[in-house]
């Protein structure tokens, strides 16, 4: 599986703000939005372009546009904080939604929402979720997409645990990962360490 770690100094600065436990809800949402811009920019660096013929004020010009905008799929709740900025980068994109909450005892994903197009053949899909911990939530999402014929899936994450990266790689599904950091691992409660805590709670408060 292709893993692209975005290590730009500005990305590292936003990630530090997210990790800082003194950052409040508003500051966390702002830093997540800003970092999402960098992650989506990098995730699109290999996207195909289509030729567009235009005219500048001076002469004809052969320009380009994205050949196919990715379907954006935020995983609720935490991925909600990434979707506005991703849409700002790709305004023509469509958006699907998946809702999953981990069971706090077992860390198993509990799905509660699925709102996706029926057929994703030929469409690139960007799954937006800041946290890839055990990988259970991302794998569930990927399985929903593959069942709809998706063959080009990008997981856009902020922090990943090696366990989650391995789970995606071992799944054999057509997925690549774009992430700001692969951290040390998971603690006994399946939280990423050093991590940034609960990305949903830090944006929106406890559920
Ligand atoms: O890789 P996993 O072990 O599945 O953990 C990662 C998931 O946990 C978080 O969501 P959470 O379940 O806390 O829901 P929330 O976004 O509503 O807070 C996070 O946003 C991922 O979706
Ligand atoms: O560290 C973690 C693990 C799962 N979900 C989060 O929000 N944070
Ligand atoms: Mg949460």
| 62 belongs to a structural domain | no
Residue 101 forms part of a structural domain: yes
ipTM value, please give it: 0.98
pLDDT given for residue 156 in this prediction = 99
Domain that holds residue 190: 3-47+67-204
Q: Is residue 173, in this structure, part of any structural domain at all?
A: yes
CATH code for position 16:
3.40.50.2020
Active site residue 176: no
Q: Which residues face 38 on adjacent strands?
A: none
Query: Any idea what the Cα angle at residue 191 is, between residues 145 and 36, rounded to 5°?
Result: 55
- The pTM assigned to this predicted structure is 0.98
Q: Which of 106, 119, 170, 184 is catalytic?
A: 106
Q: What is the pLDDT of residues 50-76, one digit of tens each?
A: 999 999 999 999 999 999 999 999 999
Q: Is residue 53 part of a domain?
A: no
Mean pLDDT of 118-130: 98
Quick check: helix, strand or coil at residue 74?
A: strand
| 56 belongs to a structural domain | no
Enumerate residues 6+ apart whose C-beta is below 8 A from 101. Answer: 77, 109, 110, 112, 207
Residue 163 near ligand 2, beta carbon < 6 Å:
no
Q: Which ligand 1 atom sits closest to the C-alpha of 161?
A: 1
Tell me, in angstroms, the distance from the centre of ligand 1 to residue 173's CA: 20
Number of independent structural domains in the chain: 1
């Amino acid at each position: 599986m292709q893993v692209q770690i975005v290590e730009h100094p500005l990305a590292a600065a936003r990630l530090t703000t997210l990790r800082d436990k003194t950052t409040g809800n508003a500051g966390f949402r702002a830093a997540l939005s800003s970092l999402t811009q960098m992650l989506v920019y990098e995730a699109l660096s290999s996207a195909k372009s289509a030729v567009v013929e235009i005219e500048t004020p001076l002469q004809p010009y052969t320009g380009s546009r994205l050949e196919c905008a990715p379907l954006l799929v935020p995983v609720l709740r935490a991925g909600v904080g990434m979707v506005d900025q991703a849409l700002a980068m790709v305004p023509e994109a469509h958006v699907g939604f998946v809702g999953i909450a981990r069971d706090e005892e077992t860390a198993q994903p509990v799905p509660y929402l699925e709102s996706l197009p029926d057929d994703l053949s030929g469409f690139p899909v960007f799954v937006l979720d800041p946290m890839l911990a055990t990988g259970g939530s991302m794998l569930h999402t990927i399985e929903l997409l593959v069942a709809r014929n998706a063959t080009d899936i990008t997981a856009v994450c902020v922090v990943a645990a090696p366990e989650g990266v391995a789970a995606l790689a071992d799944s054999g599904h057509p997925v690549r990962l774009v992430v700001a950091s692969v951290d040390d691992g998971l603690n006994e409660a399946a939280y990423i360490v050093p991590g940034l805590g609960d990305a949903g709670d830090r944006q929106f408060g406890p559920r």
